[in-house]
């Protein structure tokens, strides 16, 4: 998507002013310029990406894994939850005016599903330039920005209808700021039994037992719970799929490709496992009125 279609959403991460479109990128009124990468994304990150940004190898593994459709039921539940959240808030769905944002979007797989299901235009935000390069090809109505979710997002206040966060870090205050009143936050988090067979066999990072309560606590005061759907289904994965599963996630920062291959080789082929996630939607609560 051309940046011109998203300029009303974006603001300069240095001074907060809006952008004008230029051939080589975007520029604010104070002269801060950010280049348009030849792959079609804008890098609004100040400084270098941190060391925990997804690498090209991790992004390639995620693209192969998601391209196999293994998490399609999760994407479908995400779309259904976001649509239900918009309807409950009295906002139209299927409108060209609907604005969607996925924070920590990776390859853009989930926001592309939202665009197909809800219509409108979308923005994918990720801290990894490798992920941004891939997400720029994910959907014709999707724009892509490199930015850090732990800092102020380079977006203006109150213009987004749906924010999605799928297995990704969350910044509730910033999500609330960029959402409209009654805007919807859709969150996908793993349940304790998610892929427990693989995690136990390979001694991978565990899922906290109180993860859902911690999510609710972090959103309290900013968002009201709207609905939750738990998605569970068995899978039977050949070894290359399990290799990509491990290589695309945080365990890849601690294991070399050879180590991942050696671990997976110890498992039976195919690997039987259980996908178990929570898809929850939350409605942005109105800000209290300021006394005169």
Question: How many whole angstroms separate alpha carbon 220 and alpha carbon 82?
Answer: 19
CATH number at residue 112: 3.40.50.150
Q: Which residues form the domain of 76?
A: 3-284
Q: Which helix (H) or strand (E) holds 189?
A: strand 179-190
What pLDDT is recorded for position 143?
94
292 in a domain, yes or no? no
What pLDDT is recorded for position 160?
96
What pLDDT is recorded for position 3?
63
Question: pLDDT tens, 1-29?
Answer: 666 678 899 999 999 999 988 878 898 89
125 in a domain, yes or no? yes
Under-70 pLDDT residues of the chain: 1-4, 287-292
Residue indicated by tokens 């769905």: 93
Q: Which helix (H) or strand (E) holds 118?
A: helix 109-118
223 in a domain, yes or no? yes
Sign of torsion over alpha carbons 155, 183, 110, 87: negative
14 in a domain, yes or no? yes
What pLDDT is recorded for position 133?
95
Is residue 186 within 8 Å of 81, Cβ to Cβ?
yes
147 in a domain, yes or no? yes
Q: How many domains does the chain have?
A: 1
What pLDDT is recorded for position 292?
37
245 in a domain, yes or no? yes
Question: pLDDT tens, 250-286?
Answer: 877 777 778 888 888 888 889 999 999 999 999 998 8
Q: How far apart are the first and last CA of the chain?
A: 43
What pLDDT is recorded for position 290?
43
83 in a domain, yes or no? yes
> Does the pTM of the predicted model rise above 0.95?
no
178 in a domain, yes or no? yes
């Amino acid at each position: 998507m051309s940046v011109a279609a998203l300029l009303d959403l974006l603001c300069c991460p240095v001074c907060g002013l809006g952008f004008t479109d230029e051939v080589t990128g975007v520029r604010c009124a104070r002269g801060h310029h950010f280049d348009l990468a030849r792959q079609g994304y804008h890098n609004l990150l100040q400084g270098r990406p941190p060391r925990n940004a997804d690498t090209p190898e991790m992004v390639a593994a995620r693209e192969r894994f998601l391209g196999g459709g293994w998490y399609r039921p999760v994407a479908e539940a995400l779309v259904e939850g976001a649509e239900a959240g918009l309807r409950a808030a009295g906002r139209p769905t299927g409108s060209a005016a609907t604005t969607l944002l996925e924070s920590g979007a990776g390859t853009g797989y989930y926001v592309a599903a939202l665009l197909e299901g809800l219509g409108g235009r979308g923005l994918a935000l990720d801290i990894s330039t490798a992920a941004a390069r891939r997400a720029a090809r994910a959907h014709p109505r999707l724009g892509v920005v490199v930015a850090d979710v732990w800092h102020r997002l380079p977006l203006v206040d109150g213009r987004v209808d749906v924010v999605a966060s799928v297995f990704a870090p969350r910044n509730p205050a910033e999500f609330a700021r960029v959402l409209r009143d009654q805007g919807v936050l859709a969150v996908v988090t793993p349940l304790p039994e998610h892929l427990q067979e693989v995690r136990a066999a390979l001694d991978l990072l565990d899922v906290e037992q109180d993860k859902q309560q911690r999510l609710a606590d972090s959103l309290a005061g900013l968002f009201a719970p709207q609905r939750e759907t738990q998605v569970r289904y068995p899978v039977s994965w050949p070894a290359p799929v399990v290799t990509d599963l491990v290589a695309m996630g945080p365990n890849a920062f601690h294991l070399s490709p050879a180590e991942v291959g050696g671990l997976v080789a110890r498992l039976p082929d195919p690997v039987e496992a259980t996908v178990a996630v929570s898809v929850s939607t939350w409605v942005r609560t109105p800000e209290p009125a300021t006394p005169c």
